[in-house]
A = this chain, B = another copy of it.
Amino acid sequence: MKIIIIGATGTIGRAVVDLLAPDHDIVKVGFRGGDLQVDIASKDSIRKLFEDVGDFDSVVSAAGLAKFGSLDSLGDEDYLLGLANKLMGQVNLVRIGRKYINDNGSFTLTSGVLSQNPMPGSSSISMVNAGIEGFVRAAALETQRGIRVNAVSPIWVKETLEVLGMGSSEGMPAELVALAYKESLEGQRNGEVLDVRHFA
């Protein structure tokens, strides 16, 4: 398969690239780095990406910004960031990409554990992640030509916790997180939210 991996320079994206590269043709896409660049908050940028890539079978998104912060500290612009970037950015990958993707292709978006298991400070991220999951369940009912849509819900990634200087014993190594993306890509699931803990 020819697979576009958006967020390919991030912690999860790199692990997905490493896992899939031996068996597939990978197009690595970053915001600044990668083979090609995209700003998922811009529909024009998304459209240009798909035009530039040409023929492809699958899209993996491990990209999207949203703001962590207390109810008291989050401003309107913080909620809007998550809605415009992590939520509608990924939704627009499906809305636009379904016109370009090959028959029987797939889209795999990224939500996150805070959707279902929130913590203080996650009101915007939990909202955005849950929204992604709601969209995926519904959009999967309408994609024609055998196209599938799923979301992967990662827990905290071990390497990310280490960078943040937080205890990493609870984190999952990115190479194990990547297994859920592989299942979404290579399996037959559609409209599902894959909890990475079930595939590691």
Which residues of A does B touch, CB under 8 Å? 43, 70-71, 76, 79, 83, 87-88, 91, 95, 98, 114-116, 118-135, 137-139, 141-143, 191
In the assembly, what is the distance between CA of A70 and CA of B144, in Å? 12
Copies of this chain, how many?
A: 2
Q: Are A141 and B127 in contact (CB under 8 A)?
A: no
In the assembly, what is the distance between CA of A141 and CA of B123, in Å? 9
Q: Are A129 and B118 in contact (CB under 8 A)?
A: no
In the assembly, what is the distance between CA of A121 and CA of B141, in Å? 9
Q: Are B131 and A127 in contact (CB under 8 A)?
A: yes
Contacts of A120 in B (CB 8 A): 141-142
In the assembly, what is the distance between CA of A131 and CA of B87, in Å? 10
Q: Are A127 and B134 in contact (CB under 8 A)?
A: yes
In the assembly, what is the distance between CA of A143 and CA of B123, in Å? 11
Apart from A116-B134, A122-B138, A130-B134: 5 A-B pairs, beta carbons within 8 A = A70-B142, A118-B141, A123-B135, A123-B139, A130-B133
Contacts of A142 in B (CB 8 A): 70-71, 120-121, 123
Which residue from chain B places its CB closest to the CB of A137 in the assembled complex?
B118
| CB pairs A–B below 8 angstroms (26 shown) | A70-B142, A71-B142, A71-B143, A79-B88, A79-B91, A83-B83, A83-B88, A87-B131, A114-B138, A116-B134, A116-B137, A118-B134, A118-B141, A119-B141, A120-B141, A120-B142, A123-B138, A123-B139, A126-B134, A126-B138, A127-B135, A128-B131, A128-B134, A130-B134, A131-B131, A131-B134
Q: Closest Cβ of chain B: how far from A35's Cβ, in Å?
A: 28
One of B91, B98, B126, B139 near A135 (C-beta < 8 A): B126
Contacts of A123 in B (CB 8 A): 135, 138-139, 142
